[in-house]
């Protein structure tokens, strides 16, 4: 007898990381390679966070706090919400996967936009739900009316990525509020706000107020982006206490390790550092957007830490390869659902300059 695996395996797309193959992390963070493919922070964690990591490492012989009590309390204080409404997990990806398992069964429906974050296509095969993908509108934003039109009595979960990965576009909180007003109460809406701190269009916390009005709204955030902790894997969700209990019930008990808990609990105390990181990111955003447009390419006004660049008649595969030859790693648009594009994350000024020089050479060389 040969071993057979579950049929759903064939429907799981598989995640391709943006990390250059065969490269050690030390090489990736050096000047050797401009790693602009994973929407990470180019800055290391705050020095106090590194100290907290070192302190926590000493107690690695013990299991972590399964309730992440300190971390959840700090998140609750920061956003002035009850601790029972804060879910934490091994990256916000784990919360997405857990939410789909906790909410969906075969026969349930799940709605999300496309192109959007590449983990969403995992949710239906894993949970048994039927997925409905809704195309973005012509301006590369979520078509919220079209998403509403797909909601039925069977819909259990809708995911809205705002700002959207990979297009870097955004809807204001008033638009989200108008959308929520039309969503029936039986549907949970996860507003994936992984990049929300980088948006300038409005206060990043504006959407959190909507939770008072809409108990079916979950705001999903992460320590992987603005806090520079992608390597430690901590995400959190502000939702109802029932949502938190459901996520906790399906994820493994010790999913956020002790070092990650300590790091995130320290990081969230440094709001000045966050503001500074955002300022630097916005300076790099302006630099890249201007540079890309001067080279004759189109890019939407980004509200995130990356740009989505339309390549016009240029060949995407050839261009990505030419950039890689010059040590610049970006994401090709096709696997992200947007052929004819690249997605470039903002790195240090040196890496961003190198990207623009390599882009110029690849287009005109
Ligand atoms: C939209 C979006 N949501 C969530 C995540 C995952 O974040 P985490 O590292 O917290 O799992 C990403 C990461 O790239 C993302 O782009």
94, 194, 256, 257: residue to mutate for ligand 1 pocket, most atoms within 8 A of CB: 194
Predicted structure pTM score: 0.95
235 forms beta bridges with 89, 222
Tell me the average pLDDT of the chain.
Answer: 95
| Beta-strand relationship, 306-310 and 341-345 | antiparallel
167 forms beta bridges with none
Which residue owns the Cα nearest ligand 1 atom 3?
Answer: 194
Count of positions (residues) in the chain? 365
- Predicted confidence at residue 213, as pLDDT, reads 96
- Predicted confidence at residue 29, as pLDDT, reads 53
Which of 99, 113, 92, 229 is CA-nearest to residue 169? 113
CB 168 within 8 Å of CB 141:
no
- Predicted confidence at residue 1, as pLDDT, reads 81
Pocket lining for ligand 1, CB < 6 angstroms: 39, 91-93, 117, 161, 165, 192, 194, 222, 224, 230, 235
| % of residues, the chain, pLDDT over 90 | 91
CB 214 within 8 Å of CB 198:
no
- Predicted confidence at residue 19, as pLDDT, reads 60
Taking the centre of ligand 1 as the mean of its atom positions, its distance from the CA of residue 296, in whole angstroms, is 30
In 136-201, at which residue ranges do the beta strands (DSSP E only) sit? 155-161, 188-192
How is residue 69 written in tokens?
């009590």
End-to-end CA, the chain: 57
Mean pLDDT, range 231-254, rounded to an integer: 96
Q: Is the peptide bond before 169 cis (omega within 30 degrees of 0)?
A: no
For 306-327, what is each residue's pLDDT tens digit?
A: 999 999 999 999 999 999 999 9
For 214-226, what is each residue's pLDDT tens digit?
A: 999 999 999 999 9
* Alpha helix stretches (DSSP H) within the chain: 25-29, 47-57, 69-79, 92-103, 120-127, 144-149, 173-182, 210-213, 241-250, 258-267, 271-294, 316-325, 349-364
**How far apart, in whole angstroms, are the C-alpha atoms of residue 137 and residue 42?**
31
Give the helix/strand (H/E) hosting 111.
strand 109-114
pLDDT at residue 82 is higher than 80: yes
CB 234 within 8 Å of CB 90:
yes
Which of 190, 227, 193, 199 is CA-nearest to residue 71? 227
- Predicted confidence at residue 23, as pLDDT, reads 57
Confidence at 28, pLDDT banded by 50, 70, 90? low
**How far apart, in whole angstroms, are the C-alpha atoms of residue 136 and residue 150?**
14
- Predicted confidence at residue 172, as pLDDT, reads 97
Sketch out the chain's domains with CATH numbers: 20-44+271-364 (3.90.1150.10), 47-267 (3.40.640.10)
């Amino acid at each position: 007898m040969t071993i057979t695996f579950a049929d759903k395996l064939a429907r799981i797309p598989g995640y391709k990381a943006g990390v250059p193959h065969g490269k050690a992390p030390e090489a990736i963070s050096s000047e050797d390679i401009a790693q602009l493919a994973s929407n990470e922070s180019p800055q290391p964690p705050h020095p106090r966070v590194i100290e907290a990591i070192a302190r926590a490492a000493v107690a690695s012989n013990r299991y972590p706090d399964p309730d992440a009590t300190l971390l959840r309390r700090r998140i609750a204080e920061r956003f002035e919400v009850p601790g029972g409404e804060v879910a934490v997990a091994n990256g916000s990806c784990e919360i997405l996967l857990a939410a789909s398992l906790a909410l969906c069964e075969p026969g349930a429906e799940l709605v999300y936009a496309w192109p959007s974050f590449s983990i969403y296509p995992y949710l239906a095969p894993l949970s048994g739900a039927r997925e409905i993908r809704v195309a973005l509108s012509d301006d590369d934003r979520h078509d919220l009316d079209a998403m509403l039109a797909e909601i039925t009595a069977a819909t259990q979960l809708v995911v809205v990525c705002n700002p959207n990965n990979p297009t870097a576009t955004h809807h204001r909180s008033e638009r989200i509020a108008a959308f929520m007003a039309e969503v029936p109460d039986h549907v949970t809406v996860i507003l994936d706000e992984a990049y929300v701190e980088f948006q300038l269009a409005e206060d990043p916390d504006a959407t959190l107020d909507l939770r008072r009005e809409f108990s079916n709204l979950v705001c999903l955030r992460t320590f992987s982006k603005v806090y520079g902790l992608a390597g430690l894997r901590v995400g959190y969700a502000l939702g109802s206490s029932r949502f938190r209990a459901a996520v906790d019930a399906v994820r493994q008990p010790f999913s956020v390790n002790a070092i990650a808990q300590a790091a995130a609990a320290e990081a969230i105390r440094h709001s000045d550092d966050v503001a500074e990181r955002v300022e630097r990111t916005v300076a790099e955003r302006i630099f890249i957007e201007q540079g890309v447009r001067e080279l004759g390419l189109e890019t939407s006004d980004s509200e995130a830490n990356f740009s989505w660049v339309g390549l016009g008649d240029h060949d995407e595969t050839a261009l990505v390869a030419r950039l890689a030859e010059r040590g610049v790693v970006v994401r090709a648009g096709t696997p992200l659902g947007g052929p004819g594009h690249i997605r470039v994350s903002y790195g240090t000024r040196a890496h961003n300059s190198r990207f623009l020089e390599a882009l110029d050479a690849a287009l005109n060389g």
